[in-house]
A and B are shown apart, each in its own frame.
Chain A
Amino acid sequence: MDSFTPLTAALGGTLIGLAAALLWLGNGRIAGIAGIFGNLLPASRNALWRLVFLICLVLGAFAVSRLLPGLGGDDPIRLVEAPASWGIPTPVWLAAAGLLTGLGTRIGNGCTSGHGVCGLARLSLRSLVAVAVFFGVAILTVTVTGIV
């Protein structure tokens, strides 16, 4: 299956970069989704803009999917299923993955956007280490599970 899509990837990446640039120069905030999501939960004084951002994140993806259907890849988009030979029900597999994602991004203070896009753009060594670790572990995980 030839699924290499460099042009839409670069266009999407540019949009993500512009979104992060706007939030930084406009509001002085880092566009790290795990952080924006995580700090929403114990409803803080700054919860409103985080909520607005996340609602518009969903609306933006929805609107473009209607304007340019099929551009986002497989339609309908499906989540993964647990590796067949492991004997783990898919909901349990995804619950574990969700728990690890929430816990890890909170303890490690960032995700693909916070450390990956914003941190690397800030030339933060801390973020470079985080990115190397989570990419490395993710690659290793995919290799071990053979989930693709």
Chain B
Amino acid sequence: MAGFKLPFLATAALSGALFGSGLYVSQMVDPLKVLRFLDVTAIPAGGWDPSLAFVIVPAIAVMFIAIRIGKRRQAPLFGTKFHEPASKAIDGPLIGGAALFGLGWGMSGICPGPAISLIAFMPDNLWIFLLTMAIGSWAGSWVMPRFATTKAVMP
């Protein structure tokens, strides 16, 4: 593992920078832009902003191709294996968690990627959102026994 540490970290850095650039260029970092997409009640009046659909479709398309390429390889270039999400279960935690997240997203117009990218612009109250998001995530890992068993390092 130590042998390919630097390329591994450089890839993470480049990926993060590309991701942050994309969030800015697409205006996903602008909470009002996101809310204008979620506000479908504006459709009849013609005030709806469908831009964000134009963000997620090419993003999925590019990643879809990458997944297909990955299927023909044993391992990623700089890692030991492809970390496929193990769970396929459509269960209470998935639906309940997604519903809680949807509520938070609809209240604020910010999901985790934009929330962290916004550190670049320091809007008022951002730290409140980031701090409570961290607390929420920690609380979630404590609530979910599945996570608690793998991350049982308490301070």
Q: A interface vs B, CB < 8 Å?
A: 1, 3-6, 8-31, 33-34, 37-39, 41-44, 48-50, 52-65, 68, 71-74, 76-80, 90-91, 93-109, 111-113, 115-122, 124-126, 129-131, 133-143, 145, 147-148
Contacts and interface: CB of A to CB of B under 8 A. Distances in A.
Given A79-B129, A112-B111, A117-B60, 12 more contacts: A20-B66, A23-B15, A27-B78, A37-B116, A53-B19, A79-B123, A102-B135, A102-B140, A109-B97, A119-B85, A130-B94, A133-B102
B149 interface: no
Interface of B: 7-9, 11-33, 35-36, 38-42, 47, 49-67, 69-70, 73, 75-85, 87-90, 93-113, 115-121, 123-126, 128-141, 143-144, 147, 151, 153
Nearest to A16: B22
B12 A102 contact: no
A78 B107 CA distance: 14
A123 B36 CA distance: 27
14 contacts: A8-B27, A12-B21, A13-B57, A28-B80, A57-B116, A61-B20, A63-B17, A64-B20, A72-B29, A97-B107, A98-B132, A101-B129, A104-B96, A105-B101
Contact of B102 (A44, A50, A77, A137): A137
Interface residues of B, dominant DSSP? helix
Contacts of B131: 98
A136 B100 contact: no
Given A13-B56, A57-B19, A105 B112 contact: yes
A15 B35 contact: no
A31 B22 CA distance: 13
A12 B28 contact: yes
Contacts of B136: 98-104, 106
Nearest to A122: B67
A72 B17 contact: no
B85 A57 contact: no
A20 B123 contact: no
Nearest to B152: A42
The 4 nearest A-B residue pairs measured at CB = A12-B26, A108-B97, A102-B136, A141-B106
